Amino acid sequence: MSKIIYTHTDEAPLLATYSFLPIVSAYAAKAGVDVETRDISLAGRIIAQFPERLTDEQRQPDALAELGEMAHDPSANIIKLPNISASLPQLKAAIAELQGLGYDLPDFPESVGTDAEKDARERYGRVMGSAVNPVLRQGNSDRRAPASVKNYAKAHPHRMGAWTPESKTNVATMGHDDFFSNEKSAVMEADDTLRIEHVAADGTVTVLKESLPVLAGEVVDATFIDGAALDTFLLESIERAKAEGVLFSVHLKATMMKVSDPIIFGHVVRAFFKPVFEKYGQDLAAAGLSANDGLGGIFAGLESLPNGAEIRAAFDAALADGPKMAMVNSDKGITNLHVPSDVIVDASMPAMIRIGGHMWGPDGEEADTLAVIPDSSYAGVYQTVIDDCRANGALDPATMGSVPNVGLMAQAAEEYGSHDKTFEIAADGTVRIVNGAGDVVMEHAVRVGDVWRACQTKDAPIRDWIKLAVTRARASKTPAVFWLNSRRAHDANLIKKIEQYLPEHDTEGLEILIMDPAEATAYSLARIRQGLDTISVTGNVLRDYNTDLFPILEVGTSAKMLSIVPLMNGGGLFETGAGGSAPKHVQQLVEEDYLRWDSLGEFFALAASFEHLASSEGNARAQVLADTLDRATGTFLGEDRSPGRKLGTIDNRGSHFYLALYWAQELATQSDDVELAATFKPLAESLVAGEEAIVAELLEVQGKPADIGGYYRPDEAKVNAVMRPSRTFNEALASL
């Protein structure tokens, strides 16, 4: 029997799974396809780390490790939904919830003194940030807007905010003393084991990472951001925002860059509230309140301090005295600096650009913004888009072209694999990478407070990435542009590898270019405005950024992308879009039993998964499921069955019903498999007949609070009841 692994993840995608997976399992079974689940949720990953502390009933296997092994199997077929890339506040909240449910888990140790604290910190470190994707992504990324989504966006263009030449929105970035300018890169000549060490001014050597295995041809990079220069830049940016009368905002990725970006976020909080930290910094530190966790964590902890009200008043005064702050939720007073994971650059910047270069101010109104992106590696991409919109006006979804992406990400390529090689410098000196023979590969002079990191990119993924770029360029007859800056050390080495490996492929008649990211952005925008497509071939971080930036502008969301990862050993990983895990949607469900999450990305991933089964295992019925699901999704879009925006319209559960209806109708009328058509004909008829009753049952539950029994570890029975409220639909599906 063919097999698909469906991942059990977090937040809105998890809730939607309880509604959609019964449909998938029922339909797939008729094609001889078994659908299994694996729990890679944040809570599940935490539980798997501490089996010796838990009861037999509480223990669960390390599903992520299992899937990591499976990703190397040629028969792998994995559908991966968005999961929480946990920031420290999210991790602590999940631990607390599990402890409240009776799980004997240790608190996250704020400092490491004992062996037990060191062990707990190490185990929790395995589930923080981008813990899932590097394990599963044993292949490179092919992301694009399906034709049905693109056509729908052209026929029903989403709202775009107006841009004017007078817009004062801009990006502020360092341009010196940052990760970009300090980067060094080397290509390994042979297999080796490297060591990272810090040499203090007095000659004391501290090993930061004892063993870093590398392979021949592997690209190894190291760089750092100067802490003092960062502070100066931030103070200047705060003054600039105030002088220009624009909102101040910072855009980082504390979820994926789980070591470096929370530290940088803390620098921003301390800079914005410099007088407060100068006066009360010791009080806050003594109470374990860290700027790295954001204002939300600090404010919550002030209640227990004897001078907490005084400190809070100082924060409020500094907030009033500084530039107006961009808000996450102006109604609730949640600023851009409340939670490090609230404002994620690849989602926040496209959203700002889409609504005319605006973010929301404390008065609840839109306003021009200074977007602070400290490291200059990719900041120029966003500044180029802003400049283009300021000069030419907003892009038009009804006519604009597309920018699909081929992304280098296999085997934890580039910066997203840097977590275990990132360090906040504790003493002036030198950080160096030493090879097995004791020779220094590269080194940097550093000072206290600098953030140093190394990353690596193996040769095999680079070769596969180049091959995939050529394959996509030929299949779509579209120019492919490698977004690489020859002035950046890492990119310069990748350019050399492209020059070495590209001639191995037939590129006759193809247009394959290499441009620095800002230039590539301008080139792609010029083509977009002519209605033309351009493939962006990028590294791992720009893969993430571009697959939010362009889809949000083109089709209104990144959650509707077709996201395929052809695994290097022959299997398939099918991701359900780049839409994050939508915590606000969970909040709305709990408050009023309405889930706005759109599962469209899952429909595309599932069709691609069935198609892969058909080609890899010769399962003809899987191909029928793929073809009929694709047509059903087209009908779904044409009939506008995505979740509505307000109570009284269908939500995620209603959209699943209509997908099931259209899919059953397609299966019932297809001619490739008469027996399968006969199987689905009664279901299609019963769903049509029951449509009015089913919709009424789905709408009836709206408007009241919903009890799901937990946020990070919801109760299965309660979620099932909430997400499957239509008895008529459930009975029809069971009859299959």
Task: Quote the tokens at residue 548.
Answer: 């939010």
Both tokens assigned to 320: 């009033």
Segment 82-90 shows an average pLDDT of 88
More confident residue, 557 or 720: 720
Distance of CA 19 to the CA centre of its chain: 23
pLDDT of residue 580: 65
Cα gap 189→191, rounded to integer Å? 7
What confidence tier does 134 reach under pLDDT thresholds 50, 70, 90?
Answer: confident
Q: Is 451 helix (H, G, I), strand (E, B) or coil?
A: strand
pLDDT at 257: 87
Q: Name the band, by pLDDT with cuts 50, 70 and 90, for residue 111.
A: confident
Is the CB of residue 392 less than 8 Å from the CB of residue 522?
A: no
| pLDDT of 137 strictly over 90 | no
Q: What is the DSSP letter of 649?
A: S
Q: How many CB atoms lie within 10 A of CB 44?
A: 22
Q: How far apart are CA 86 and CA 129, in angstroms?
A: 5
* Alpha carbon distance 257, 263 (integer Å): 10
Q: What residue type is 543 in one-letter code?
A: R
Q: For residue 342, what pLDDT is reported?
A: 81
What pLDDT band is residue 593 in, cutting at 50, 70 and 90?
very high
Q: What percent of the chain has pLDDT over 90?
A: 87
Residue 209 phi, psi dihedral angles, 5° rounding: -145, 115
Which residues, listed in sequence order, are joined to residue 407 by a DSSP beta bridge? Answer: 141, 538
> What's the pLDDT score for residue 560?
80
- Dihedrals phi, psi of 256, to nearest 5 degrees: -80, -45
Percent above pLDDT 70 for the chain: 99
> Helices (DSSP H) in 401-516: which residue ranges?
459-476, 489-501
Confidence band for 110, pLDDT divided at 50, 70 and 90? confident
Q: To the nearest 10°, report the CA torsion of 475, 481, 486, 487.
A: -140
Average pLDDT taken over every residue of the chain: 95
Question: How far is 285 from 280, CA to CA, in rounded Å?
Answer: 9
Evaluate if residue 130 carries a pLDDT over 80. Answer: no
Q: What is the mean pLDDT of residues 298-313?
A: 93
SS3 110: coil
Q: What is the pLDDT of residue 245?
A: 97
Classify each residue of 273-305 as buried b or exposed e, where b means 16 or more C-beta atoms within 10 Å of its C-beta.
Answer: bbebbeebeebbeebebbbbbbbbbbbebbeeb
- How far, in Å, CA of 385 to CA of 367, rounded? 18
Stretch (H or E) spanning 119:
helix 115-125
pLDDT of residue 457: 97
pTM score, two decimals? 0.84
3-class DSSP assignment, residue 645: coil
Q: How far apart are the first and last CA of the chain?
A: 19
Least confident stretch, 23-32, 148-157, 596-605: 148-157
Kindly list the strands in the beta sheet with 192-200, ordered across the sheet, starting from the edge strand earlier in the chain.
205-214, 192-200, 429-434, 440-446
- pLDDT tens for residues 179-225? 999 999 999 999 999 999 999 999 999 999 999 999 999 999 999 99
> Domain residues of the chain, as ranges?
2-138+567-735, 255-340
- Tell me the average pLDDT across 101-125: 93
Q: What pLDDT does 386 receive?
A: 98
DSSP one-letter string for 329-386: EGGGTEETTS-TTTSBHHHHHHHHHHTTSEEE-TTS-EEEEEEE--S-TTHHHHHHHH
> What one-character DSSP code corresponds to residue 493?
H
| Spatial CA neighbour of 433 closest among 614, 86, 192 | 192
Calculate the dihedral angle through the C-alpha atoms of 284, 288, 293, 297, rounding to the nearest 10 degrees: -80
Q: What is the CA radius of gyration of the chain?
A: 26
H or E stretch at 544: helix 540-555
Q: How far is CA 482 from CA 499, 511, 521, in A?
A: 12, 11, 11
User: For the residues of 177-244, what is the DSSP string, one character each?
Assistant: SSHHHH-EEEE-SS-EEEEEEEEETTS-EEEEEEEEEE-TT-EEEEEEE-HHHHHHHHHHHHHHHHHH
Structure tokens at 219: 């690209």
For residue 378, is pLDDT > 80? yes
Point out which residues pair with 563 in neighbouring strands: 143, 575
- Mean pLDDT of all residues in 645-650: 92
By residue count, the chain amounts to 736
Helix boundaries (H) for 639-672: 652-669
Residue 98: pLDDT over 70 = yes
Residue in the structure block whose two tokens are 């009975």:
731
pLDDT tens per residue, range 420-440: 999 999 999 999 999 999 999
- DSSP 8-state secondary structure symbol assigned to residue 88: H
Helix (H/G/I), strand (E/B), else coil: 554: helix
Q: What pLDDT digit, counting tens, does each position of 552-588 carry? A: 999 988 878 888 999 999 999 999 865 667 888 999 9
Q: Quick one: pLDDT band at residue 87, thresholds 50, 70, 90?
A: confident
Q: What angle do CA 695, 701, 702 make, to 5 degrees?
A: 95
Q: What is the largest CA-CA distance in the chain?
A: 82
Please tell me the predicted confidence (pLDDT) of residue 112. Answer: 86
Q: How many CB atoms lie within 10 A of CB 651?
A: 30
One-letter amino acid at 542 equals L
- Distances in Å between the Cα of 124 and the Cα atoms of 127, 282, 292 are 6, 27, 17
Average pLDDT over residues 521-545: 97
Beta bridge partners of 167: none
| Residue 18 to residue 81: CA distance in whole angstroms | 13
Residue with tokens 């019932």: 668
CB-based contact 44:75 (threshold 8 Å): no
Query: 290's torsion region: left (phi>0), alpha (psi -120 to 50) or beta?
Result: beta
pLDDT digits (tens, 9 = 90+) for 360-371: 999 999 999 999
Which residues lie closer than 8 Å to 717 by C-beta, 6 or more apart? none
Q: Answer yes or no: is pLDDT of 1 > 80.
A: no
Helix or strand (DSSP H, E) at 7: strand 2-8
Closest CA to 465 of 515, 520, 504: 504
- 224 C-beta neighbours (distance < 10 Å), count: 25
Q: Would you say residue 19 has pLDDT above 90?
A: yes
pLDDT at 488: 97
Residue 510 has pLDDT above 70, yes or no: yes
